Structure 1
Amino acid sequence: MKTEAVYFVGIGGIGMSAIARYFINKGVYVAGYDKTPTDLTKQLQKEGADVHYEDNVALIPASCLDKEHTLVVYTPAIKPSEHKELAFFIQEGFNVLKRAEELGALTRDYKGLCVAGTHGKTTTSSMTAHILHQSHLDCNAFLGGITMNYGTNYILSDTSRYVVIEADEYDRSFHHLTPYASVITATDADHLDIYVTEEAYLESFSIYSNKILPGGFLVMHTGLKMKPNVQDGVTIYTYSREAGDFHAENVNIGNGRIVFDLVSPLGNITGIELGVPVIINIENGIAAMALA
C-alpha cells in the first residue's frame, strides 16, 4: 500500500506529533483529532496538518477516507470502544496501528539508538540526539519532549542511518522497537495500571533488552533490579555518576557550571561542561555519551 494520507487519533500527544511531523516532512497529507487545542496542535496546523477537536466521523477529511491509501495511527490512551472516529476506521477495514507499532515500522531500517527507563528518557534521548546531530554522523530523532535547542520533538536527516528514539514502556510500547543500542536509565515500578505488579514491569524490560540486535549494546544504570536477557553478540555496559563502565570523575560544581571528566571503556574525555547545569544531568549526560 502506498500511503497518501495519515490520520492520527490523538495527534496532539508528544509521541504522536513527532510521527505526524515525520509524514509532513515526507510530503504525505496529515490530519487528525485531538480533544483540545494546544500550542503543539496549533504548531502542527501551521506546519500543514489538518486538525479538529470534536470526535465526529463527519469531520474526517475526504482525503483520509480512501482506505487503500490511508494509514490510521492512534494513541493507546484512546480506546476504540470510547471513540467514534477510531471505531469507524476499524469497522471499515482501514489499516489501523497503535503509535508504537508505526514507530517500530518507521525506524526498523535505521540503526536505532533507544533510551528506555522510568525517568530520564526525554533528557537523555534529547542529549543523545544533540550530540549526533552536531557531529558528522547526524541523526533522525523521535523525542518525548520539545527540545530547547531545536524547538521540536522530531529531528530529520536525509543522510544519517541513525535514529534516536525515546522508548516508552507504557502499554509495552517499546517491545515494537528493534534497537541497535539502548540505554536503560531506571526500572522503578510505574504504570501499574498496565503491569499490575513490579515483577511484570521488570519482566517487560527484560523482554525489551532481547530486542537489541546482535552486534549492538546495552548500557544499564548500575544497581537495576531487572535482569537483562540480551541476544548473543550484544555487549552489556553499566553507568552511573560514580561507578560503572561509564562514569564521571573530577566533578566541579559552582558558579552555575558543572564540569567533569568522562571515564569510559573507549577512552576518557576531560573537561566536559553541561549545557543544562543540573546535577541529575551528570548521569543523563554520561548515558547520552555512552549511547552516542
Structure 2
Amino acid sequence: MKKIKIEPMELNAVKRVYLLGIGGIGMSAIARYYLHYGVPVAGYDRVSSDITQTLEAAGANIHYTDSVGAIPTAFLNREETLVIYTPAIPANHSELEYFRSNGFVLMKRAQVLGLLSSNYKTLAVAGTHGKTTTSTLLAHLLATSMGCDAFLGGISRNYSSNLILADQGKQLLVVEADEYDRSFLTLHPYLAIVTSVDADHLDIYGTYDAVLNAFQEFVSQIKPGGYLVVKQNIAFKPTVGKGVGVITYGFTPDCHYYPTNISIHDGLYRFTLVTPQGSINNLTLGVPGHYNLENAIAASAAALTLGVPTEKLAHGLESFRGVQRRFDVRYRGTKIIYIDDYAHHPSEIEALVRSVREVFPNRKITGIFQPHLYSRTRDFAGEFAAALDKLDKPIITEIYPARELPIEGVTSETIVKLMSNSNAQVVPKAELINWLKCNNVDILLTIGAGDIDRMISEIVNTLEAKENKAINE
C-alpha cells in the first residue's frame, strides 16, 4: 500500500475522512482515493447525483441535509478525523461551523491535493480552459505506457472515473491545477502545462492582471530540472526558475510541437506531429473538436518529454475516449445529434460552436446555454452575446447561482438584449422539455457548468420519442 502522507495529521492518526461537498468533481476524486486505500469516508452534499451514488456504492456514508446530527458518530472524533471542505461550502454552514468550533483539523481540497502530490513527481495541468481534457488525455497516455496516478477534473470515459491509480513504480501523478481561489498555488510540480489564461473568476481575482500574476506564481513553482509546456503566444510571458525547460506548442512552425497534414476522417482528426526530435506520422485523435486537437498537442508534448515511446503515444491518442461533458455526444439518432458540454466562458462557447460546425458542416445548431454565476454573466455579457450569436438558434435559461447571491439587474435577459440573432430567446429550465417537444432541432447542444447536465436523460428520452414518432407517422 502506498503511504498516504497528511500533515499535520500523519496516516496513523487519520483514521477517517469527512468531506463537505463530497459530490464535487475534485472532492469526489479525493474521496475515491481514500476509499481505495481502506480509509472510512463520509460526507455531506446538497443533492444526490451520479457521483455521490457511485461513492455510496463504494462504501461512503453520505447525507444531503446540513445537520450536525446527521454526521456519523465515528467521524465526530476530532483526533482521528480529517475534515476536507470545498470553497463552495458557505461560511455559515452548520457542519463547517461545528468542525471549526470544536478544534477539528480542517483542510481545503487544494491543500490536501498539494500534500498528496508531494509524494510524487507531479505533472500539473493549468489553464482557464482546456485543462480537464488535457490532463485526462495526459493521464491516459501515461497510464497506458509508463503508469501514473491521476486526480482529474472530469469523469474519464476510458476509466469511468475521475481517479486513475495505474502507477507502475514511476511515482508520476497527473493533477488538474485549478486556478479558482488560487488553489493551484499549493502545487510544486515537476512538469506543468498551461493551456490558456483568459480573464475569468474575476469575483475572486478582481482584475485580469491578478489572474496573470497568479499563473506567473504557479509556473515559478516548477521544480528545478523540470519543464513548462506552454501554449505559444499565451497572454503572459512566463518566467520560470533556474534549470526549468520551456517547451512551446501550437499550430505554427515557430513552436517546439505543432501538427501538420491535418485532415478529418469520420469526424476525427488525422495529423502529423512535428517535434524537436522529428515528425510522427499518421496520428489519429479519438475525440472530435479543433480545441481537442490543441489539447492533444499539449498532452503529447508532455508525454514525449517524459519518455513515452512514439508507438505508445499513437495508441493512446487513438484510444482516448474523452471526458464526460466535454464535446460529449449523448444521442445520435437518424436525424438529431445531441452534444453536452461544460463550456461556461465565452471563448469556450465560441470554440465549441466552431468545432461542431467543423465536424458537422451544413447542419443547424440549437444551443441551450445555462449561464454560470451572476458575476460572470455581468462581467462578460457582451462576450457571451457574441459567442451565442454564432448558433442558429440560441436558447438561454436562467442563471445558475452556484456560490453567489443574485446581483440586481443581472439576468439571462442581460445577454439576450445584447444579441443580434433574432432567434435568441429565454426559456426557463422547467420549460425546456416542453420546448423541445414543440420545436424541431437538428444538432442540439446543452452548454454550461451548472446543473443543466441533470437533464441529459430526460432530453435524450424526449429526442428519441420525437424521432420514433416521426418514423411512425
TM score, norm. by length of structure 1: 0.97
The worse-fitting range, judged by mean Cα deviation, of 277-286 and 251-260 is: 251-260
**2:48 counterpart letter in structure 1:** P
Q: Which residue of 1 aligns with 2:152?
A: 143
Q: Work out the CA distance in 1 between the residues paired with 2:166 and 2:156.
A: 16
Matched, 1:50 2:61: yes
Contact 2:132 2:176 in 1 (8 A): yes
Q: Which residue of 1 aligns with 2:206?
A: 196
Matched, 1:13 2:4: no
Q: 2:138 aligns with which of 125, 128, 131?
A: 128
What is the CA-CA distance between 1:158 and the residue it aligns to? Answer: 5.1
Matched, 1:163 2:199: no
- Deviation track 1:110-135 (CA, whole Å, cap 9, x = no partner) reads 01111100101111011001101111
- Deviation track 1:229-278 (CA, whole Å, cap 9, x = no partner) reads 31111011111123411111111223323111111124332111001032
Contact 1:23 1:29 in 2 (8 A): yes
Unmatched tracts of structure 1, length 5 or more: none
Q: Work out the CA distance in 1 between the residues paired with 2:20 and 2:268.
A: 43
- Deviation track 1:16-56 (CA, whole Å, cap 9, x = no partner) reads 00000000001000000000001110110001100000110
Aligned ranges 1:15-94 → 2 under 5 Å: 15-80=26-91, 82-94=92-104
Q: Which residue of 1 aligns with 2:188?
A: 178
Q: Work out the CA distance in 2 between the residues paired with 1:116 and 1:236.
A: 15
Contact 1:241 1:282 in 2 (8 A): no
Q: Work out the CA distance in 2 between the residues paired with 1:22 and 1:85.
A: 23
SS in 2 for 1:96: strand
Contact 1:11 1:41 in 2 (8 A): yes
**1:60 counterpart letter in structure 2:** I
Query: Which structure ranks higher in relative contact order (CA pairs < 8 Å, sequence separation ≥ 6)?
Result: 1
Q: Which residue of 1 aligns with 2:162?
A: 153
Change (3 A) 1:3 1:181: same
RMSD of aligned residue pairs (Cα, Å) = 1.1
Q: Work out the CA distance in 2 between the residues paired with 1:179 and 1:16.
A: 20
Larger radius of gyration: 2
Change (3 A) 1:266 1:72: farther
Unmatched tracts of structure 2, length 5 or more: 1-8, 304-473
What is the CA-CA distance between 1:223 and the residue it aligns to? Answer: 1.2
Q: Work out the CA distance in 1 between the residues paired with 2:109 and 2:278.
A: 38
SS in 2 for 1:276: coil
Sequence identity of aligned pairs in percent?
A: 51
Q: Work out the CA distance in 2 between the residues paired with 1:257 and 1:121.
A: 20
Q: Which residue of 2 aligns with 1:3?
A: 14
